[in-house]
A = this chain, B = another copy of it.
């Protein structure tokens, strides 16, 4: 039987920091913004290079277990928050077991079928404590999480996309698509995104974390449905613009079918600038292979945002369009070190 962590002081130094050479400042305050698998990737990397990590997570999901819980209980969709917490779980038997538990999804056509255990647990904590952030902090403690997970807004949001050619028969027509699932799976080309409600209250703790950060990291992730929404929450966008932190944008390894199909890497940056005209960026991090052939345009787009382009090998060796957490951590460490 594994003990709860903390019973043997000194045993909890996270293995995840082993990749960081001694002497590097692990006390840099880093805030990672995103959602879903993209944020899971950035957190899996960032936990290796800092002990002061905060995740700020999109709350616009309306599909699956999160969508059901959101509709039935009027709460924030818990799924992306849960996944971020799992990405930060402790390295010992305690952290990894509870991480597996919260990520476990019931199967079958039952009442619980499709629900992730952590989603149920988060909603229960919210009901019980009556406080979103406190509830997430308790799940973080359960997991022995190497960092804190916060929602980007205090209320559940809906996404709305202005789309060109959603109907293949009318390629020039602009239409509005509402809902994260619909936005992530639609045909056509997204022109712009907005939130419903348009002026949601930012999570105060998230605003404070951005304000106090040394670095903020946007992306990787579903560009329109996980990355851009942060810039559409007025209070959070203002914090991102005014913070003294340095700003890093981590690009995806490949366009995402249904969302950014046909988007070049630099088009991602242009979309970002369109949605947050006042935002400047210090570093744009891109995978060398993904950027191949468009480096000049990418450098130019980074410069328009006020930043420089950093290229590195970031992909998993298996050819899949996923970030290798070690390579991504190495790139983050080098960038943070160099500034």
Q: Which residues of A are interface residues toward B (Cβ below 8 A)?
A: 1-7, 9, 68, 72-73, 94, 97-98, 100-101, 104, 106, 108, 110-112, 115, 117, 120-121, 123-125, 127-128, 137-138, 141-142, 144
Does the CB pair A110–B141 fall under 8 Å? no
Residues of B within 8 A of A138 (CB): 97, 101
A238 to chain B, nearest CB (A): 27
Does the CB pair B117–A104 fall under 8 Å? no
Residues of B within 8 A of A125 (CB): 101
Give the nearest-CB partner of A71 in chain B.
B110
CA distance A137 to B3 in the complex (A): 11
A265 to chain B, nearest CB (A): 39
Residues of B within 8 A of A108 (CB): 72
Contact of A112 among B94, B120, B128 (CB under 8 A): B120
- Residue among A97, A98, A110, A124 with max Cβ neighbours from chain B (10 Å): A124
Give the nearest-CB partner of A116 in chain B.
B124
Write 13 A-B pairs (CB below 8 A) sorted by A numbering. A2-B141, A3-B141, A4-B4, A4-B5, A5-B6, A7-B9, A73-B110, A101-B124, A101-B138, A111-B111, A112-B120, A112-B123, A117-B121
Does the CB pair B106–A127 fall under 8 Å? yes
Give the nearest-CB partner of A8 in chain B.
B6
Does the CB pair A112–B110 fall under 8 Å? no
A102 to chain B, nearest CB (A): 9
Give the nearest-CB partner of A7 in chain B.
B6
Contacts A117-B120, A121-B117, A121-B121: A4 and B6 contacting too (C-beta < 8 A)? yes
CA distance A170 to B74 in the complex (A): 52
CA distance A115 to B1 in the complex (A): 28
Residues of B within 8 A of A127 (CB): 104, 106
Residues of B within 8 A of A123 (CB): 112
Give the nearest-CB partner of A134 in chain B.
B1
CA distance A4 to B4 in the complex (A): 9
Residues of B within 8 A of A3 (CB): 6, 141
Residues of B within 8 A of A124 (CB): 101, 104, 106, 117
Residues of B within 8 A of A101 (CB): 121, 124-125, 128, 138
Given contact pairs A7-B9, A142-B142, enumerate 11 new A-B contacts (beta carbons under 8 Å).
A1-B137, A3-B6, A3-B141, A4-B4, A4-B144, A6-B7, A72-B110, A101-B125, A111-B115, A112-B120, A117-B124
Residues of B within 8 A of A73 (CB): 110
CA distance A91 to B128 in the complex (A): 18
CA distance A265 to B292 in the complex (A): 85
Contacts A100-B128, A110-B73: A4 and B141 contacting too (C-beta < 8 A)? yes
CA distance A94 to B110 in the complex (A): 32
Residues of B within 8 A of A106 (CB): 124, 127
Contact of A111 among B5, B9, B112 (CB under 8 A): B112
